[in-house]
Amino acid sequence: MMKRAFPAFVVLAALAAGAAVLAGPLGPAPQPGQDKESRSEFYVSRVVSSEGVKDAKEVLGKPDGRYAEIAPGGRMTLLMERPMLPSAVFDDGTVVSTGETDFGLEGWFIAAEANQAAQYAWMPLFSGKSPGGFRVTSQDMIRGTPEGSPGVHLIRISNNGTKTLLLDAVVGYGR
């Protein structure tokens, strides 16, 4: 009797393992917007510098419908409340804006080799999955990102277009 029960158990265990493999290590893919509901949000705490910007302080804090106006060719450097850390699955942040959509987005990254003094450089941030969303690193780069990465505290937004960019807020998402 035991000999017959064992093969049935093995078959059931194999089917369960196969279903787990098909679902992936994290289960099914997240639905749009799902990542924002389960992750903490943080915002711009200070405008470090601005050129060609009217009402720069309107970008501070949560989105509130009040806008900093970045003229064509203008730019802002913003300090986030916390560092934006790379996520392997979700967007790392969102630019909340209206008007011009042709803008550049960069982060102030550590660019030094290991065992050298810290050197920083502006590097582009990548488009995310959601409207206005962005990633701190591309999928190819994230494999080499150490778990203890300091992330990005400073971001720079440049209006590369011909119309005014109305910037309400920048939202960062915690891990």
pLDDT in tens, 2-59: 444 444 433 333 333 333 333 333 333 444 444 445 678 999 999 999 999 999 999 9
Separation CA 107–CA 114 (nearest Å): 20
Spatial separation of the C-alpha atoms in residues 42 and 59, rounded to whole Å: 13
pLDDT at residue 124 in the model: 92
Give the pLDDT confidence score for residue 5 in this predicted structure.
44
The one-letter code for the residue type at 58 is E
Q: How many Å apart are CA 104 and CA 156, to the nearest integer?
A: 8
Two tokens at 62? 């949560």
Task: Determine the Cα–Cα distance for residues 103 and 153; give it in Å rounded to an integer.
Answer: 19
Could you give the percent of the chain with pLDDT greater than 70?
A: 69
Tell me the pTM.
0.71
- CATH 2.70.50 assigned to domain 32-173? The reply is no
pLDDT at 87 over 90: no
Q: Are 84 and 145 in contact (CB under 8 A)?
A: no
The residues spanned by each domain of the chain are 32-173
pLDDT score for 112: 66
| 12 φ/ψ angles, rounded to the nearest 5 degrees | -65, -40
Rounded CA separation 139/162 (Å):
31
CA distances from 17 to 5, 26, 35 (A): 18, 14, 27
Place of tokens 């488009």: 127
Strands 93-99 and 103-110: unpaired
The pLDDT value given to residue 11: 35
